[in-house]
Structure 1
Amino acid sequence: MKVVVIGASGNLGSAAIRALTADGAARVVAVARRAPTGPRTNVHASVEWRTADVSTGNLEPVLEGADAVVHLAWKFQPTHRPEETWATNVVGTRRVLDAVARAGVPALVCASSVAAYSPAYHDDPVDEGWDTDGASPAAYCREKAYVERALDAFACDHPEVRLVRVRPAFVFQRSAASEQRRIFGGPLLRPAFVDRRRIPVVPVPAGLRFQAVHAGDVGRALAAAVTTDVSGAFNLAGPGVIGRDELGELLGARTVEVPPDLLRRSLDTAWHARLAPVPGSLLAAVMQLPLMSTARAELKLGWHPHHSAMEALEAVISGIPEKAGSDLPPLRP
């Protein structure tokens, strides 16, 4: 079975490759803007790497003969240049969809996100039928919601393609620690600052609660979606919900509740001054995200996460001060 993984060198892509090659049944073609190099890439020796940019490259030859495509390519940064993220995330996804149709690929698995969901003001877990209009004006949410519409149109136009979309919660793993520090913390958040021995107090916006999932568990869900005759959307989250108490326990620090609007405005000010890499609208999104039910993934995919939400977040928090990463270009320390 030939599986093409687009966006193969990032947080999700690296986990998908591990899962797809675990039993040796799949021949994986890994597509990324930059091919991996270095002594630790020998774990990917069975994978054929191809270089292509979804926003500009000729994708059809890469997909030729594929039994399934797993599309994971996404840019979170630069948040100050939304036209650049739009070119990859939205235009790039539409170009992948067009290439899949032209190449006659019978199955497509695409990564969406909990951020595609519309706001929820309750803690009742929602299923995959919850509206996907984005949780805030943040570019990340807007682009995820737009991709959902593109997938809806593709499903109508190409019923011959088995289409699966996964909507994971926040995805963490130890090897992505350095990348995620850069994405969400920027150059001012040095690895040593996340050393739990140096964190006496953590401000937490009132009402914060969110779900998380380990990248390895998402990788297994993606592999199951490739090999199982299913279609439609699947929520993915590890057991448990993370809030103020859980963050305090994880960081070994005292927590102080602060008004969310105050933090949002402060983050916006820092973002406009280019001192923070993410705008306040992203915090607003996190505060409004629904909690997700994963019952459909458990039933249809036979998916059961090996890690709790706390264990997923612990993997990245413990990895940041140790500069954890890999030789895959986006994940390098």
Structure 2
Amino acid sequence: MRALVTGASGCLGRALVEQLSAHGWDVGTTARQPVALPGFRAADLASADLAPLLDGIDVVFHCAARSSAWGTRDEFHAANVLATRRLLDAAEGAGVKRFVLASSPSIYADGTDRLDVAEDAPLPVRPLSLYAESKRAAERMVLGRAGAMICTAIRPRAIYGRHDRALLPRVIDAMRHGRLPMIRGGRALIDLTHRHDAARGMILAASGPRGGVWNITSGEAFRFRDLVEIIARRSGLPVRSLPLPHGLARWLAGASEGLARMRGGAEPRLTLQAVASLGSSLTLDISAARRDLGYRPQVGFEEGVAECFA
């Protein structure tokens, strides 16, 4: 079997390449910037000719996305919606048999505590971030695709591990250079997904039924403050927390984002997406992935976080 992995330079993409290669797949890879990976071709999926990437490909694993907490609606749309639409069209035209999307459980977030959320849970009328808005649109496109190509998706929660550039690095940077916002006392529950568990979920989803979507996590939830304590123990960094009520955190984040947009500046230290992620509990029910795909989490957080400091 021959696979194309998009976003192959990222945390999930690299883990997927490792697992596919170990199981004897012929793997092609792509990302925007050159990187030393098997069968690599640099490409911007929103504008490049995609036909050369898809020649002879049986399965597309679409991991590429703009996953930042910061950006404009146009930037998120181009990277997460337009790029997905172009890749779907090109894959279908090339006779690809399977298309698997790495979606996002951010689409569940509504600013309240949501525990053990299943795939058919109601989604908020208005997504809480531009990222969630764009991933929801991309997922809808993929799962609604008719034709010979079978399309599926996973919703992996908070992927971390080696090559992570989003989750743990942000926490560690705040611990090193300032005070870590502890919204609602850090009581929010978060379940995470080690990169190898997420990659395994992607591969299993490639054999799932058309239109299937599955939550993927590593099967354990932590309070945010407990995660921070584990990271502090592993890194040797002190924890200097800044207690913030949820309402004040949202106000500060909104004001910071508004000021940053007016100035055309970089991402502020506190964003609305960060408040949504760290201020409210969100845990996922993975019983459907266990039942339909035979998915079993294999990497706990204590073990998984160790590789980040090895």
Q: TM-score, normalised to structure 2's length? A: 0.82
Match of 1:307 in 2: 299
SS in 1 for 2:154: strand
The percentage of aligned residue pairs carrying the same residue is 25
* Equivalent runs, 1:125-204 vs 2, <5 Å: 125-133=116-124, 136-154=127-145, 157-158=146-147, 160-176=148-164, 179-180=165-166, 184=170, 194=175, 202-204=180-182
Alignment equivalent of 2:249, drawn from 253, 263, 278: 263
| CA displacement at 1:70 relative to structure 2 | 0.6
| CA displacement at 1:314 relative to structure 2 | 6.0
In 2, Cα distance between the equivalents of 1:171 and 1:247? 14
SS in 2 for 1:291: strand
Structure number with higher relative contact order (C-alpha < 8 Å, ≥ 6 residues apart): 1
| CA displacement at 1:221 relative to structure 2 | 1.6
In 1, Cα distance between the equivalents of 2:288 and 2:183? 31
Match of 1:240 in 2: 220
Match of 1:4 in 2: 4
Match of 1:282 in 2: 273
Work out the number of aligned pairs and report it.
295
| CA displacement at 1:263 relative to structure 2 | 1.9
| CA displacement at 1:49 relative to structure 2 | 0.9
Match of 1:208 in 2: 188
Q: Is the 8 A contact 2:2 2:28 kept in 1?
A: yes
SS in 1 for 2:14: helix
In 2, Cα distance between the equivalents of 1:163 and 1:50? 23
SS in 2 for 1:129: coil
| CA displacement at 1:280 relative to structure 2 | 3.2
Q: CA-to-partner distance for each residue in 1:281-302, whole Å, 9 max, x for gaps?
A: 2134324564211112222222
Match of 1:223 in 2: 203
Q: CA-to-partner distance for each residue in 1:276-327, whole Å, 9 max, x for gaps?
A: 44663213432456421111222222222222245545655x47xxxxxxxx
Q: CA-to-partner distance for each residue in 1:230-280, whole Å, 9 max, x for gaps?
A: 440111111221214413532354766430121222233334344644663
SS in 2 for 1:131: coil
Kindly provide the amino acid, as one letter, of the partner of residue 300 in structure 1: D
Q: TM-score, normalised to structure 1's length? A: 0.77
SS in 1 for 2:182: strand
In 1, Cα distance between the equivalents of 2:273 and 2:13? 23
**1:134–1:292 CA distance, 2 compared to 1 (3 A):** farther
For the aligned residue pairs, the C-alpha RMSD in angstroms reads 3.0
Match of 2:84 in 1: 93
In 2, Cα distance between the equivalents of 1:73 and 1:202? 29
In 2, Cα distance between the equivalents of 1:85 and 1:183? 21
